[in-house]
A and B are shown apart, each in its own frame.
Chain A
Amino acid sequence: MEKFLRKNAPAYVFLAPWLVGFFLLSIFPILASLYLSFTEYDVVQPPEWIGLENYQYMFEFDYRFWKSLQVTFTFVVVSVPLKLAFALAVAMLLDKGIRAVGWYRALFYLPSILGGSIAVAILWRQLFDYNGVINSVLRFFGGDGPYWLSDPRYSLWTLVVLAVWQFGSPMLIFLAGLRAIPQDLYEAAEIDAASPMRKFFAITVPLLAPVIFFNLVLQMIEAFKSFSGAFIISGGSGAPLDSLLFFTVYLFNEAFSFFRMGYASALGWVLLVIIAAFTAIAFWTSKYWVHYENERG
């Protein structure tokens, strides 16, 4: 024991700040929110234990809960594949060894760095405003743009575009993955006169599968949690007509606008379970399409 301490004490001293942060700022709030999800808690008064009532209300009576799930699922299902496809396409272009590739990489990555920021969401609102840049360009070409943000038929799609635009980080990971594919495979395919399409589906996709899988899981989780864009563009309420009522926006509203912190905690746990379930499904299906080099097949 003494030897163990002498050997490892410095490590624990250096780890201490992180450990303190981890327990105080992660573990404790997580446990607290689990407890609060079984209470009625209006922030000012002490929480009151009500058992499963929050969950019961959510599933049986709360139609806005179901609406927010629908909005969030639509967003995840549409934006994640689009974003990944776009990221892969750009990564393949950059992989072709064009000049000043570093510069392009940085440029394409920039939106991802700015990604979650409020400033970008505000910029987006102004771009897609009825009198904004997008519609001005459309008008210049003789078209008449719709009310992107106040028409519930379009509002969600402006956020999908915003998400796809932030393709930088999956792109960088794809780029690294593409670099790892042995070039001789392509050369061999060349000799057999394979079409570019064939090369893509027979070489690139299978060898990139672990990277695609990694990006898919990561982006899916991120999309489920997406908040600031919808919050800013809808003015915090999920307007128009709840078309931007993302799960997180709804949760935020319940917690901070209507003093229902207990109910909001319950919502948070439901989101956690949903994300965990989808991640598990992704891992389960992955054994049918993702193969790693060190596996023997």
Chain B
Amino acid sequence: MRFTRRSFLGTAAAAAGSTAILTAMGRPAFAQETRIRHFWWGNPDRDERTLEAIRIFNEKHPDIEVIGETLGFADYFTRLTTQIAGGNMPDAIQMGYGVMFEYIERGALLPLDEYIGNQLDLTHIDQSAIDAGTVDGKLYALSIGANSHMAMYNKRLYEEAGIVPGEDFDPYGWTYDDVKRIGVAIKEATGVAGTDDNTADYQNFSDFAAQAGGELYTAEGEYGPTQEMVEQYWTIWKDIRDAGATPPAQHSAGLAAVSELSRMGVVTGDSATTYLWSNQLVGVQALMEDELGAAMYPNLPEMIPGSIIQPSQFICLSRDTVDAEATVTYMNAFVNDMDMTAALGLERGIPANSQVREMLQPTLEGAAATSVEFFDNIQGKTMELHPPQPSGANEVEQTFERIAVGVLLEQQSIPDAAADFIRQAEAILRRAS
């Protein structure tokens, strides 16, 4: 009943034409009470910014009402899975680079191609960001910020140990040997461990695998890294640990797969360097008093690029949307509208819209300015985007973390653990495909 009334009014409005000014991207002006839901995982800072952006949108588009829903990362995908099963996914959902492909492959997201040029304006969006959201030639996702791996270090502790960035190490090209040397120096000078122990950090391992000449997944969707690479990676960190540059192994074991920023080594004061995503710098800085510096993940002496620049998050159109056009209108504003993007800032990473970047540039200070500087400096030092991950990649990651904890606690020798991991990774991928 409501639908007929709405379409009727819509047609009438279009015919009248005079009210076209009020329409948002060609939507009928009188179609009221279109209520769409936007769901994201966040933190208090992000939630505040996003809700502010929604408020601006609702003010500018009286015909669409956007409702924000947010959860912590740990519970986000559980809720989403439940909603998929119930057929009531929110209209616009936030996705991460890794897990998104699994959702696309299973058909939970809708492509956006038919809206390009209508509700969706891609004129100023970087081509690399568009490519990152494209699968099999169809655009599924709008990037809401570029991201890369970043080592965040406590400037005060580095200073106290007499370590000068640029002189004692190159923040954009340091090696694992540097990490060990600096880590030990900081431990000796300050009593604080110089670096977190990344034995169980899959992000770090994925960079390492590329630096060592492998890719995480082959084009056929098979597991790329060899047993030797895994052994080498764990041996490097064991060496750093044995030199005394990290917190005790048992402490690091408790942090495997932990995602809360408040439990990271730089924040708790257990270490001077923590390895995270670059968009998290703003959030981590907000939790501490000492100023943070930014560096790339360490490398092997050959300096083969291993980090990638990838979208931190996407905004996507869900299969269960109640009104695709209204939702795409909102998604479009989320990446293009100057007022909304100003409210969002750099919290989700560097925006993919060049005009938005220009607008934000002069307003940046502190951690946000550090992020932009970091991005300028890593250009040309990163590798190409990986092909989409196969199904099961998520489980492989968890398996790596679990077995690495066994390495930390010395329950298994490194060669045994590495062989065990490769065997399980292959079995998981076989079962998932």
Docked-complex contact A44 and B84, CB < 8 angstroms: yes
How many residues of chain A get a CB closer than 8 Å to chain B's CBs? 24
Contact with A along B380-409 (1 / 0, CB 8 A): 000000000000101100100110011001
Q: For the complex, would chain A's binding face be called helix, strand, loop or mixed by DSSP majority?
A: loop
A270 CB → nearest B CB, Å: 19
Pick from B107, B255, B256: contact of A44, CB under 8 Å: B107
Docked-complex contact A147 and B85, CB < 8 angstroms: no
- Contacts A147-B254, A150-B254, A151-B250 given; indicate if A240 touches B405 (C-beta within 8 A): yes
Bound form: Cα–Cα A42–B108 in Å: 11
B172 CB → nearest A CB, Å: 32
Residue of A nearest to B78 (CB): A256
A64 CB → nearest B CB, Å: 9
Docked-complex contact B106 and A147, CB < 8 angstroms: no
> B257 in the interface, Cβ–Cβ < 8 Å?
yes
Residue of B nearest to A243 (CB): B405
**Which chain A positions have C-beta within 8 A of B106?**
42-45, 259
Residue of B nearest to A146 (CB): B250
Docked-complex contact A257 and B257, CB < 8 angstroms: no
Pick from A44, A235, A261: contact of B74, CB under 8 Å: A235
Bound form: Cα–Cα A222–B402 in Å: 28
Docked-complex contact A151 and B257, CB < 8 angstroms: no
How many residues of chain B get a CB closer than 8 Å to chain A's CBs? 32
Docked-complex contact B251 and A235, CB < 8 angstroms: no
> B30 in the interface, Cβ–Cβ < 8 Å?
no
Residue of B nearest to A242 (CB): B402
Docked-complex contact B254 and A149, CB < 8 angstroms: yes
Docked-complex contact A235 and B250, CB < 8 angstroms: no
Docked-complex contact B253 and A240, CB < 8 angstroms: yes
Docked-complex contact B251 and A44, CB < 8 angstroms: no
Q: For the complex, would chain B's binding face be called helix, strand, loop or mixed by DSSP majority?
A: helix
> B202 in the interface, Cβ–Cβ < 8 Å?
no
Residue of A nearest to B427 (CB): A61
Docked-complex contact A240 and B409, CB < 8 angstroms: yes
Bound form: Cα–Cα A104–B433 in Å: 58
A217 CB → nearest B CB, Å: 31
Residue of A nearest to B391 (CB): A259
**Which chain B positions have C-beta within 8 A of A149?**
254
Bound form: Cα–Cα A241–B270 in Å: 23
Docked-complex contact A45 and B253, CB < 8 angstroms: no
10 tightest A-B contacts by CB? Answer: A150-B254, A44-B106, A147-B250, A150-B253, A256-B78, A44-B108, A43-B85, A256-B81, A43-B84, A240-B405
Q: List 27 A-B contacts (CB under 8 A).
A: A43-B84, A43-B85, A44-B84, A44-B103, A44-B319, A45-B106, A130-B254, A147-B251, A147-B253, A150-B253, A151-B253, A152-B409, A235-B257, A237-B257, A237-B398, A237-B402, A239-B257, A239-B402, A240-B254, A241-B409, A256-B78, A256-B81, A257-B78, A257-B395, A258-B392, A258-B394, A259-B81
Residues of chain A touching chain B, judged by Cβ–Cβ distance below 8 Å, are 42-45, 130, 146-147, 149-152, 235-237, 239-242, 255-259, 261
